[in-house]
Amino acid sequence: MATTGERVRRGLRACSLALLVGSCTHDEAPDGPPVRDCTSVVWAWPSHPSASVQIVGSWDDWASPGASMLEREDGWRVLGLDLPPGEYGYLVVDGGSAQLDEHNPLTSFRASDGREVSRLEVDDCGVPALQVLPDQVRVDAAGLTISALFLAVQASAQLDPGSVQADLQVDAAAPEDGTIDLSSPPLARGRHGFELHAKDLAGRAAQARVSVFVDPIAPSWADAIIYQVVTDRFFADDGLPLAAPPSPGARAGGTLGGVQAALESGYFEALGVSALWLSPVYENPLEPRLGTDGRLYEGYHGYWVADSRAVEPRIGGEQALRSLIDVAHARGIAVILDVVPNHVYETHEIVAAQRANGWFNEHPSECVCGTPSCPWATNMQDCWFAPYLPDLRLENGDAMNFAVAELLWWLDSFEVDGVRVDAVPMMPRAASRRIVHAVHNHTAPGIDRLVLGEVFTGSGTPGVAGLRHYLGPGGLDSVFDFPLMWALRDVLATDSAGFTTLDALLGHIDAQLGSGAVLARMLGNHDVERFVSTIIGDAHGDPWDQPASQPDGVNDDEARALDRVALALTLQLTLPGMPVIYYGDELALAGGDDPDNRRVMPALSSLPPARAALLERARTLGQLRRCAPALRSPHRQTLHVGQSSYAYARLAEDGGVAVVLISRADEPQAIPLPGTDILSGTFVDALGGGTHELGAGAELVLGPRSAMVLLPVGDPCSP
């Protein structure tokens, strides 16, 4: 464990060396506790060694020429800003050109002209603080240990040891150096939240939050399999199957209790699932509303946010959500909430209270997204999803702070493990970065909570570029890999492309986003037609009058369709990334365009044999991924690629290996494999195809529309 002096020096090094804006959280007093220092330090690398660099900001109404940055011997420019507590905007002026601070991912918008500027938030150093660094929180079989640091207002304002309060054992509280050590005996499996409180001798209070997950199934999000649930369409209380809703846009009656029943039955664990993504749980309006297609819809999906701090009673309310989270956590399964910072329903209290204060994007006439008068191309970030869904203008600082605070309320109130952020491209990028910063810094260690963004893109390289814009330092933890989703459909659903195209796309994604990028990879979701219906080719009929047919494998065409779904699941669950299974994809649930793609989950006992077999294949693949480190690693090596066949190796850091072979052809295919030290010896097909010898000149024959996942003989995950 680091000593106090080491932690102080580490903090000072962060202030003097970190290439981003921030506050030096404390200073090292020669005699006494560490003292808060709210000086903000801005760094810049000049465009030319002789360039003059200044900082201009909102603290003096953007007065020019601004404050000159000091030149260091190593060429960097630096400036310390001593400002009163509050939020500020600033720009770096390099050689007369004002620009964003490239080392600070956080931005806001200047009120006078809407220009995006770098954002600076200065704490109040007139009150003490409790600092808990991520590496000072440890949880293992022996229990939880936390090392906190009390940062004083001044050297004489020491920690009052008797004021330290937490639902933990206080092992030490040292006024002379501000260290506080806390611990607990072994904790039950699940997430546990703690509030730490302390005061100085003058009674000034400080607090910090800690939240830890004990023994999760997936130790990191790179190891996770996420299951997406549309709660209203899943199961009723006690896991009872639902009847189809009276119309495709109506509520079906699914509940959080139905999700919990499936959880308690072991359904998710059988699929290898380690996290549940719940559709929005906000309270939604009772009344149905007209869609742009003239049909009536209800808020069964949860995206019409009438109250952003209430759980929808019709899915079970607050107690049902708490119960579901508790049961999931007790099984090591994380829970992700779908959050909606982009808009609210028209009856939400802030509409009447804040509309006159510029909180919403207003237009001279109705601007509904995607309509002729309000096209996506020009109005992506200010259009309204519907006339009754006012769009928050997050360029307004108060509106942005509201959206972030509402999201943090759910984290604090329900101890969830992450959020899926809706409609990311419909908001300024500043919004998603503020959300990431807030989630990761609101509690310690914080970085274990996932911020997964919905960045809906098209296919190919333009789609990859769209994802890249929201990743990187300060960006989202993960995004949905829509380009791969479209490519999987081209290769396995419509045959409009071959595996050569898929392999090239995977290489491009690795090059552009990093081979270690943890992308959320899915076959579909609640906004696109179901994978199996794309294969059948009847996905675009009217959901009310001509819904997609449900293939059950009772004839050759239907059997072929289910085989193709099995191949898609094989790719999804054996490629690098974080698989996201949309409810029902594991059993080829059909569905056309929204809302036909949100049918009720069928009773598992009534599945026809071919779809029951597909579910078993999905379970086998999910369990394989959970078991085999090679299938969760970021490393993939192409071994063979053709128009109709594909083979690749997955390599673990510990030397483990898995080999995946896939053929979409309707006749047997011979696949040559190169021999290497790693890819030599006897391997077992974990999908039930017996043993195979690999080495120089090896060639394996795949049957029609089939796959193999090969593991070395003796591998603990092999059958």
Amino acid at 545: D
Q: What is the rounded distance in angstroms from the CA atom of residue 164 to the CA atom of residue 256?
A: 38
pTM of this structure: 0.94
User: Which pLDDT band holds residue 450 (cuts at 50, 70, 90)?
Assistant: very high
Look at residues 122, 150, 185 and tell me which one is the last residue of a structural domain: 122
Domain membership of residue 684 (yes or no) is yes
Structure tokens at 258: 């139905």
Q: Report pLDDT for 17.
A: 34
**115 within 8 A of 122, measured Cβ to Cβ:** no
Q: Report pLDDT for 26.
A: 60
Q: Report pLDDT for 514.
A: 78
Look at residues 122, 147, 181 and tell me which one is the last residue of a structural domain: 122
The pLDDT of 15-30, averaged and rounded, is: 48
User: Which pLDDT band holds residue 18 (cuts at 50, 70, 90)?
Assistant: very low
Per-residue model confidence as pLDDT tens digits over 43-87: 999 999 999 999 999 999 999 999 999 999 999 999 999 999 999
Give the CATH number, domain containing residue 676: 2.60.40.1180
Give the CATH number, domain containing residue 64: 2.60.40.10
Closest CA to 488 of 380, 565, 417, 551: 565
The pLDDT of 253-263, averaged and rounded, is: 98
User: Which pLDDT band holds residue 1 (cuts at 50, 70, 90)?
Assistant: very low
Amino acid at 440: H
Please, what is the end-to-end C-alpha distance for the chain in angstroms? 43
Q: Report pLDDT for 24.
A: 52
Per-residue model confidence as pLDDT tens digits over 601-648: 999 999 999 999 999 999 999 999 999 999 999 999 999 999 999 999
Domain membership of residue 300 (yes or no) is no
Provide the mean pLDDT of the chain: 94
How large a percentage of the chain has pLDDT more than 90? 91
Q: What is the rounded distance in angstroms from the CA atom of residue 308 to the CA atom of residue 343?
A: 10
Domain membership of residue 678 (yes or no) is yes
Q: Which helix (H) or strand (E) holds 513?
A: helix 499-513
Q: Report pLDDT for 19.
A: 37
Closest CA to 700 of 677, 678, 664, 668: 668
Domain membership of residue 186 (yes or no) is no
Alpha-carbon distances, residue 326 vs 145, 273, 572, 597 (angstroms): 23, 16, 29, 30
Per-residue model confidence as pLDDT tens digits over 78-129: 999 999 999 999 999 999 999 999 999 999 999 999 999 999 999 999 999 9
Q: Report pLDDT for 31.
A: 65
User: Which pLDDT band holds residue 2 (cuts at 50, 70, 90)?
Assistant: very low
Q: Is the pLDDT of residue 12 over 70?
A: no
Q: Is the pLDDT of residue 369 over 50?
A: yes
Q: Report pLDDT for 28.
A: 52
The pLDDT of 667-683, averaged and rounded, is: 90
**434 within 8 A of 468, measured Cβ to Cβ:** no
Q: Is the pLDDT of residue 471 over 70?
A: yes
Q: Is the pLDDT of residue 516 over 70?
A: no
Q: Report pLDDT for 15.
A: 41
Q: Is the pLDDT of residue 22 over 60?
A: no
Length of the chain: 719
Tell me which residue range forms the domain holding 691: 635-712
Domain membership of residue 671 (yes or no) is yes
Domain membership of residue 377 (yes or no) is no
Domain count, the chain: 2
The pLDDT of 409-433, averaged and rounded, is: 97
Per-residue model confidence as pLDDT tens digits over 135-178: 999 999 899 999 999 999 999 999 999 999 999 999 999 999 99
